[in-house]
Amino acid sequence: MFLRNHWYVAAWSEDIGREPISRVMLGELVMLYRTEDGWPVALEDRCPHRNLPLSEGNLVGDVVQCLYHGLEFGADGVCVHVPGQDNVPDWARVKRYPVAERNRWVFVWMGDPEAADEAAVPDYSTRLVDPEWITISGYQVVRCGYRLILDNLLDLSHLAYVHARTTGNAALAEDAVLTTEAEGDRVRITRWMEDIEPAPAFRRFGGFTGNIDRWQVSQFLPPSYININNGADDAGSGARGPEQLTSRGKWGFVVYHAMTPESATTTHQFWAVSIPERMVPDAERETFHAQMDTVIPEDTVVYEAQQAAIDRDPDAHDQDANPKGALAIDQALLEMRRVIRRLHRAEQGVAPEPNTGRTLP
């Protein structure tokens, strides 16, 4: 269930250069490179002649030369030269995808090119380029469907078990007060924990010696973006209400995730942890970096084990999770999936789902 009329992250800005790279996005082969002026370009990564990926070829100025028979394609996807003949056939062209670049991310529009609007490029990840913040970032291809990753990031109770050595402890699952809000296409869940024991990372890097108030606000933006504001302060001093959206308190950080489906069961995951520079002493930065780097692999093991189990479930639909029921902690991820289904039906020209009167648990 892919939403096509949306911007998806194709790469970190620093990973796109004069050497073409290839990505499979929503099942389509896409080649990425920069022009001599530094502008990112995204083209269909398949020569229309004998189908060799153009990313195997060479850049000659801003023209891509196919490695097989030397056909040359401009940045607009149109063939400009066929060796050995003067005329260029009308069919000698490849799809050109609209591209945008913002806050270290290169975005590609995967739907109708006429509908692409740069004003709709997500712009929430400003801390990625804030000079007063430290950012730890990464990229991986995960062997699971993208919705499983969205589920994980909208239900942070799992930190108590998956990340118990770093950012989680039992209080995150047992003592959190949850508030789920859905507004238009966006979903937000706030987790508030009052007077709890600090998790290991909060004790070490935040300097907490006693109990804390802690808050986590996860926000979903279609088609597949999540940002999470994490904050903590001494017990009795924690941020409340709208302040939790932006405050880190005495110690906290922001997490950014962009998931781009590769296929129904594989996903490009771009992630970053950003924290104010003042919150990590110079002597602790290497250790902090190492701890944050361990978090994503811990989640990856879970995602991929889930997908393997789903693939063996004859009752699973659309190669997605097949839960037997829902818990209170599932409210936000259920809302997120309803948004995706609604937008998908709209793209397909299908009538909206009937209102069954269901309530969330």
Take residue 62 and report the two structure tokens written for it. 């801003």
> Which domain covers residue 296, as residue numbers?
126-347
- 355 pLDDT band, cuts 50/70/90, is low
State which of 98, 120, 142 marks the end of a domain.
Answer: 120
Report the CATH number at residue 261. 3.90.380.10
Q: Evaluate whether residue 357 is within a structural domain.
A: no
Sign of CA dihedral 144, 150, 155, 160: positive
The phi and psi torsions of 325 (rounded to 5 degrees) equal -175, -175
237 and 325: one domain?
yes
Per-residue pLDDT reduced to its tens digit, 102-116: 999 999 999 999 999
Assess whether pLDDT exceeds 60 at residue 359. Answer: no
Same domain? 211 vs 142: yes
Query: Domain for residue 1, yes or no?
Result: no
Position 60 scores a pLDDT of 95
pLDDT class of 350 with cuts at 50, 70, 90: confident
Q: Are 239 and 317 contained in the same domain? A: yes
pLDDT band at 1, cuts 50/70/90?
Answer: confident
Q: Does some domain include residue 360?
A: no
* Residue 358 pLDDT class (50, 70, 90 cuts): very low
Q: Map residue 172 onto helix, strand or coil.
A: helix
- Summarised one tens digit per residue, pLDDT across range 311-337 is 999 999 989 999 999 999 999 999 999
**Is there a single domain that holds both residue 140 and residue 159?**
yes
The sign one gets for the Cα dihedral 338, 121, 243, 201 is: positive
Closest CA to 28 of 260, 346, 344: 260
Query: pLDDT for 154-171, tens place per residue?
Result: 999 999 999 998 999 999
What rounded mean pLDDT belongs to the chain?
94
Residue 77 belongs to some domain of the structure: yes
The SS3 assignment for 206 reads helix
- Starting at the edge strand found earlier in the chain, the sheet holding 79-81 runs 58-60, 63-65, 72-73, 79-81
Number of domains in the chain: 2
Shared-domain flag, residues 115 and 139: no
Q: What is the mean pLDDT of residues 350-357?
A: 70
Q: Which of 76, 93, 120 is the last residue of a domain?
A: 120
Q: Domain check: are 134 and 279 in the same one? A: yes
Residue 357 confidence (pLDDT) above 70:
no
Same domain, 111 and 183: no
121: tokens are: 């490029």
Same domain (yes/no): 111, 134: no
